[in-house]
Amino acid sequence: MKKSNHFLRGSAMPLKKILLVMKLFTFLLIIALHVSANSYSQKIISLDVKSATLKQVFKAIEKKSNYRFFYSDNIVPTDKKIAINIDAGTIKEVMDKALKEFPLTWKLIDDRSIVISEVTTNSFDDRVITGSVKDEKGAPLPGVVVKEKGTNNAVATDVNGTFKIKLINTAGTLTFSFVGYESQDVVLGDKNDLPVISLQPSAKALNEVIVVGYGTQSKRVVTGSIASVDLKAQETLPNTNVSQALRGRVAGVQFLDNGRPGQGGSILVRGKRSINASNDPLIILDGVFFNGSLADINPDDVESMDILKDASAAAIYGSRAANGVLLITTKTGKSEKPTINFNTYYAGNEWSKKIQMLTPQRYIQKILDYRAQTGLTSDPTQITTYLQPSEAKNYLAGNSVDPWNYVSQRSYTNSYDVNISAKNKNTSYFLSGAMVTEKGLIFNDNSKRTSVKANVETKLADWFTVGVSSQFSNRNTSGLEASLGNAYLTSPFATLHYPDGSLTQYSVTEDQLVTNPLYTATQTTNEEISQNLFANFYAIINLPIKGLSYRLNYSPNYRWYHNYNAYKQDPHLTNNVTTASKANTQNFDWTLENIVTYKKDIGRDHSFDITLLYGRNYSKVDSTQVNGATFPSDQYGWNNLKLASTLTATSSAAEINGVSSMARINYRFKNRYFVTLTGRRDGSSVFAANNKYAFFPSAALSWVASDESFMSSVNWLNFLKLRLSYGSVGNQAIAAYTTLGLTGTTQYVFGDGGSTSPGIFPGALMPNPNLKWETTYNANLAVDFQLLKGRIGGTLEYYALDTKNLILRRNLPDMDLYQTILLNLGETQNKGVEITFNTVNIQSKDFQWSSNLNFSYDRNKIVHIYNSDANGDGIEDNDITNKWFIGSPISVAYDYKPNGLYQASDVLPAGYKPGWVRVTDLTGDGAITSADRTVLGNLDPKYRWGINNNFTYKNFTLSAFVSAAQGWIGAYPRLYASGSANYIGRPANLQDVGWWTAADPTNTHPALSFTNPLGIVPYASRNFVRLQDVSFSYSLPKPVLQKIKMQNLRFYVSGRNLYTWTKWPGPDPESGDAYFPTPRTISVGLSASY
């Protein structure tokens, strides 16, 4: 029998047409829709062909209509010619006539595509395949998608696992797929009843390879606590920084940023535990230490991101791993055929919240109420004399200023990314170029990053591989942004422009308190550029002993940063105000690592792998800054500083050296029992002479219980793994030389007309020759599971961290003559629970609904501070100055406890007035003393959770992500109208939080006369629930993609920070930023790959 070719292809004409359309990427979807809309209206065809081949007839029909033909070349004869003459016939009439003389039949699909096939014994309408699907244990599997391969034709199995599918084609292949199971293809023979299909659990899901540091492992055998970030799910989100992919999405990981352009944000893994050393996690890029900013990494280059959370996983990075480790792996070539990816999006930003400032009317009311409450005349008819003259002018003219409108700019993010990758027998490569332009919400708050990347690996011989992964990025954050701080203070009656349109220096000229928010930004020309060149050169040698290999990494990293400023002459000033400065900083780091690995299987049941490492690392920073003031002209900018009347220069340098050795042994027994033992010894120059080195060991066990024979009868449980680990990791995140007690510099001029004398003085930091490593002892207990045939999967983890020899920056009494000292003292504990759930809620033919939930709870507390009892009360001393209290969390609010306001009828303390804040006398001794201060709350969230719901219908995907953090408070000084953030009596605006008046004696917001004698800071809840990301995407169906020779083409729309439920009075509860509003972003994007 002649094997027919079922690989259909379209005829040439429409393909060309579509290719043409393809060049107009952005309009493709619209045009495609337009074409199909036309096709429905073209039902009637007239055709007059004298003598033509069948193919020519098809082309003629395509020309006259929007029908498209699909057929296999070898079934349509090319020699025989026919004649057709039809005047206004239906497509059926035309086709029946055309095929009359051929052993061919046709079928119309989707009202548009005409498929030509050979006539077989079964007609199309008759071929119905039935069967049933069972799982590996023989139980029926409902919801399995049964799809005719190469088409969109699909059905799902019913509750009994049976299905019935009507074929489009005469023969072919059915694909059976189900979440958590391996897909299976079944080639259809002649029979329409298939034997029972048995699906096997997907080894892939568990054998998914994840990066574990100095190597990769399949998920099944991992013993430590490693969270992988699902980057796929976020491809349709406008992430300009990889760390944004962490925001709210990973249990136990907190990411904070304020949404400003080019910001890196901060990451906290499993809560705060180090009081003063850095809490930033270690970043490992493609296997090596990365000291730059996360903002230097192009998110589109990132293949995977894994977070090592427990000691077992992190201990291999020993001294730097106490705050967790972020492993970022960039993409490599994967397929033989070169793949080109193109991804672009445009995102428009707007203020997700605008702080309500006093309106002009309320501002007037503030002045009147303030005057009344402080004993000044307060006569509304005299208001113009209470205002500053320039304010009065605007008041009378009816002019007012909206500060937010004034400092805003059109805000958007625009990103383009192209990459090319491929892999053949010996060589793989990945090359990319990307550009992202960000315009923030605030005038001149801009960032532009261009980056290129090259990952190349080649196998020179079976035993020798060399490669490089490298990247260069250029981040331009030039331009000084408008001063939001001044915008908050700008009077509604400010004068921001001279009559000639140029900017005034002060928003209310008489007072000079508030600089025009745009003035400095406009006066200053600023160039601020960070460049980062990072490369890892490596060689891998498979040594003659089987399983033994050696890897050498050498990773140099150059970073350049410069910040140049020129302040030009203001023509409205008579004095010369020109200044210019150049600041240059250069970092050079390198890491050199020798890694030996050995893998060995003994018999069927035992296998080992051993990793040994010896490495060194070095980093150096040096910087120079030159400032010039008073130039003969502002035309030179910063380019000829010698012209300055006054020149000053400063420079500094520092270097850090480190040495490391590490050993790790993984042992597997029967592929069910796993043991990992790790030890790392680190030395760092930053520590004091006697404590340069430290050793960090850890051990972990895990057991795949579901593979035991006694578990085989538990049908609902598909996978169960228990993990247990214990170990220690260190923290060396302190700056160079901090143990030495360094000096500061200053200057003085003796004698009139004298020259500058340099001065040196002791620094603020007391030297500590005994400073040593901080160590976190980390216990982790976890369960990984999959239930109900993979419909529910997840991880439950419990951890306990015990941090000792805490490096802390302790504030000292002034009488010590130093402000602070870095010490190893005390002990903190973190305990927490992390839950991750992934569920497939609905799985049907065309529709899938899946959810991910992450939840984390972290409670940290201080166990010991100084182990001192200096005051001899038998209880370990707290440290009030540093707000550290035994048994309390590390970051707490400690203050008097506000208890409403004094009202006119109350007995007032001396000097107090009605409407002033009353505090609780906690000691009950009848007097308010410093002993009445108490811990008011936690400054870090207790709980965090996030839920992502993902809906897929055919080629449409909708996902919605909600994140939340609860159980925390934050200081918000603006809550007191007369508080430190506001200038109550002066011509400055303030947030309209309300205030006490005799006529409206509230009990919450103090009077404008309140001078805050106790220096109380007001706090507010930072709890929030946020609809963080919603994205909707459409991918072109496979057949269409095949026609246009593309692998993928997707369009998407997404929204970020769409809505936040919170009582936080500031710009954003999550970032807690005092000034910057987090943007709400709507983006549209397109990604294409060939």
Partner 1 sequence: MKRFKIKLLPALALVMLVVLGTLNGCKKNLLTETPLSSLSVSQVLSTRAGFTTFMTALHVAARNELISTDTYDRAFDMQTGTDVATTGDPTITPYVNYTTYLTPVNNTVKFYWDWAYLQMIARANNIIVYANKADPSIWASAADKNAVIAEAKFFRAYTYNVLTNLYGDVPIVDTIYDTPKVDFTRNTRQQVLTFAKNDLIFASKYLPTTVAKTDEGHIVKGAADHLLAEVYISLGDYDNAIASANNVINSGLYHLMTTRFGSDAANPGDPYSDLFKDGNQNRSSGNFETLYVLQIEDVTPGGQGDGVGANATAGTANNWIRAWGPRYFAITDPKGVTGMIVCDSLGRGVGWVRPCNYVEYDIWRSDYNTDIRNSKYNMRRQFIYNNPASTYYGQLIGPRTADIDTMQYLYAYPRKIEGKVGKVTNNTAGKTFKDMVVYRLAETYLLRAEAYLRKNDLVNAAADINIVRSRAHASPVDPSNVTIDYLLDERARELLVEEPRRRTLSRMGKLVERVRKYNIRATTRSSIQDYHALFPIPQSAIDANFGAKLGQNPGYPQ
Based on CB atoms, which residue is closest to partner 1, 58 or 1010? Answer: 1010
Distance between CA 866 and CA 869 in Å, rounded?
8
The three-state secondary structure class of 793 is strand
Beta bridge partners of 415: 345, 436
Q: How far is the CB of 496 from partner 1 (least distance, A)?
A: 18
Amino acid at 656: I
Based on CB atoms, which residue is closest to partner 1, 135 or 457? Answer: 457
Q: C-alpha angle with apex 848: 347 to 149, nearest 5 degrees?
A: 105
Longest dimension (CA), the chain: 115
Q: Are 83 and 50 in contact (CB under 8 A)?
A: yes
Q: How far is the CB of 600 from partner 1 (least distance, A)?
A: 23
Based on CB atoms, which residue is closest to partner 1, 579 or 860? Answer: 579
Residue 188 tokens read as: 């259809």
Based on CB atoms, which residue is closest to partner 1, 241 or 491? Answer: 491
Q: What is the dihedral of CA 1072, 1073, 1077, 1081, to 10 degrees?
A: -70
Distance between CA 792 and CA 964 in Å, rounded?
22
Residue 542 tokens read as: 């498979």
Distance between CA 514 and CA 721 in Å, rounded?
62
Cα-based distances in Å from 775 to 316, 696, 778, 807, 829: 14, 8, 9, 9, 12
Q: How far is the CB of 627 from partner 1 (least distance, A)?
A: 5
Q: How far is the CB of 874 from partner 1 (least distance, A)?
A: 14
Cα-based distances in Å from 61 to 71, 89, 1066: 14, 12, 66
Q: How far is CA 605 from the centre of its chain?
A: 41
Based on CB atoms, which residue is closest to partner 1, 810 or 1080? Answer: 810
Distance between CA 92 and CA 105 in Å, rounded?
11
Based on CB atoms, which residue is closest to partner 1, 408 or 579? Answer: 579
Q: How far is the CB of 633 from partner 1 (least distance, A)?
A: 14
Based on CB atoms, which residue is closest to partner 1, 1 or 870? Answer: 870
Residue 371 tokens read as: 């005057």
Based on CB atoms, which residue is closest to partner 1, 53 or 891? Answer: 891
Residue 395 tokens read as: 């008041």
Q: How far is the CB of 128 from partner 1 (least distance, A)?
A: 56
Distance between CA 1080 and CA 412 in Å, rounded?
10
Q: Are 203 and 182 in contact (CB under 8 A)?
A: yes
The three-state secondary structure class of 578 is coil
Residue 759 tokens read as: 């001065």
Q: How far is the CB of 1072 from partner 1 (least distance, A)?
A: 24
Based on CB atoms, which residue is closest to partner 1, 155 or 984? Answer: 984
Based on CB atoms, which residue is closest to partner 1, 684 or 836? Answer: 684
Residues in Cβ contact with 377 at an 8 Å cutoff, skipping those fewer than 6 apart: 371
Residue 416 tokens read as: 């383009």
* Cα atoms in the 13 Å half-sphere on the side-chain side of 431: 5
Q: How far is the CB of 584 from partner 1 (least distance, A)?
A: 14
Based on CB atoms, which residue is closest to partner 1, 715 or 868? Answer: 868
Cα-based distances in Å from 829 to 528, 799, 800, 993: 41, 10, 7, 38
Q: How far is the CB of 699 from partner 1 (least distance, A)?
A: 28
Distance between CA 59 and CA 13 in Å, rounded?
8
Q: Are 220 and 208 in contact (CB under 8 A)?
A: no
Q: Are 943 and 252 in contact (CB under 8 A)?
A: no
Residue 333 tokens read as: 């070539």
Q: How far is the CB of 652 from partner 1 (least distance, A)?
A: 4
Based on CB atoms, which residue is closest to partner 1, 415 or 555? Answer: 555
Nearest to 298 by CA among 412, 211, 417: 417
Q: How far is the CB of 247 from partner 1 (least distance, A)?
A: 34
Q: How far is the CB of 684 from partner 1 (least distance, A)?
A: 7
Give the orientation angle of helix 28-41 with respect to helix 12-23, to 10 degrees. 140
Based on CB atoms, which residue is closest to partner 1, 501 or 758? Answer: 758
Q: How far is the CB of 512 from partner 1 (least distance, A)?
A: 7
The three-state secondary structure class of 705 is helix
Based on CB atoms, which residue is closest to partner 1, 603 or 758? Answer: 758
Q: How far is the CB of 968 from partner 1 (least distance, A)?
A: 24
Based on CB atoms, which residue is closest to partner 1, 206 or 808? Answer: 808
Based on CB atoms, which residue is closest to partner 1, 567 or 857? Answer: 567
Distance between CA 703 and CA 707 in Å, rounded?
9
DSSP string, 78-113: SS-EEEEEEEEE-HHHHHHHHHTTSSEEEEEETTTE
* Positions of E strands within 524-645: 524-542, 548-567, 579-602, 606-629
Q: How far is the CB of 593 from partner 1 (least distance, A)?
A: 10
Q: C-alpha angle with apex 112: 108 to 116, nearest 5 degrees?
A: 40
- H or E element, residue 383: helix 383-386
Q: How far is the CB of 393 from partner 1 (least distance, A)?
A: 11
Distance between CA 35 and CA 740 in Å, rounded?
75
Q: How far is the CB of 323 from partner 1 (least distance, A)?
A: 22
Based on CB atoms, which residue is closest to partner 1, 468 or 1082? Answer: 468
